[in-house]
Amino acid sequence: MRFMTKLQTAFEFCEAARERGKIRFYGLATWTSMRVPPTDDMQFLNLETVVRMAEVIGGGRNKHGLRFLMVPLSLAAQEALVKRWQVVGGSEGRLVTLLQAAEELGIGVFASAPLGQGAALPLCSAKNPAVEALEFVRSVPCCSTMIAPIVGQKTPEHVSQNLEILRTPPRVEGEITDRGRSVGDNNRQRELG
């Protein structure tokens, strides 16, 4: 509950800044809170709850400035794409993935850590695993929700490798969904085994 009070204070600050013309929009960045199951009471955060708070503070539906979410998404961290842990539609709502919830709620998503801090690279089979890992994120379903991946790069060589993505055509939805499911299924098998 303490976190929600702090979040409310932050949203009030952002909405006041919007009223003064200092900012147009704002967002929320999270590492784990929207990538854990609802049973994790200490960390779980439902996106719809956050958006409803912004609506109350910002004067109603589509009047608030909360427009963006940044969450990890990679071959090694697929929760936002495959886990149906978010509830939309109030207390009688339905379970959807985070990307589906973001799309329904009008929130744009930035994918942080698209290389999984290196953990996604061993899951790739391409000559340039970074390109394959970036391609996965670039091609996820819910295209209207996904704005862009945010890639950290430590060396000029990394920049050159990552720019190879520009020479690769995006995958079609079935290709990325199939790949996502197969890797997600492997991750679930590891969790169960």
Cα–chain center distance at 73: 6
Fill in the DSSP letter of residue 119: T
Cα–Cα distance for residue pair 25/69, rounded to 1 Å:
11
Report for 11-20, 41-50, 110-119: range of highest mean pLDDT: 11-20
pLDDT at 112 over 70: yes
Q: What is the pLDDT of residue 88?
A: 94
Between the two ends of the chain, the Cα-to-Cα distance in Å is 35
Tell me the pLDDT of the chain averaged across its residues: 85
pLDDT at 110 over 70: yes
Percent of the chain at pLDDT > 90 equals 53
Residue in this structure with the two tokens 């890797």, named with its chain if needed: 183
pLDDT at 148 over 60: yes
Burial 51-66 (b: 16+ CB within 10 A, else e): bebbbebbeeeeebbb
Cα–Cα distance for residue pair 58/147, rounded to 1 Å:
23
Cα–chain center distance at 13: 24
Q: Confidence class of residue 47 from pLDDT cuts 50, 70 and 90?
A: very high
pTM of structure: 0.82
pLDDT per residue as tens digits for the range 122-145: 998 878 888 888 888 888 866 577
Cα–Cα distance for residue pair 92/114, rounded to 1 Å:
33
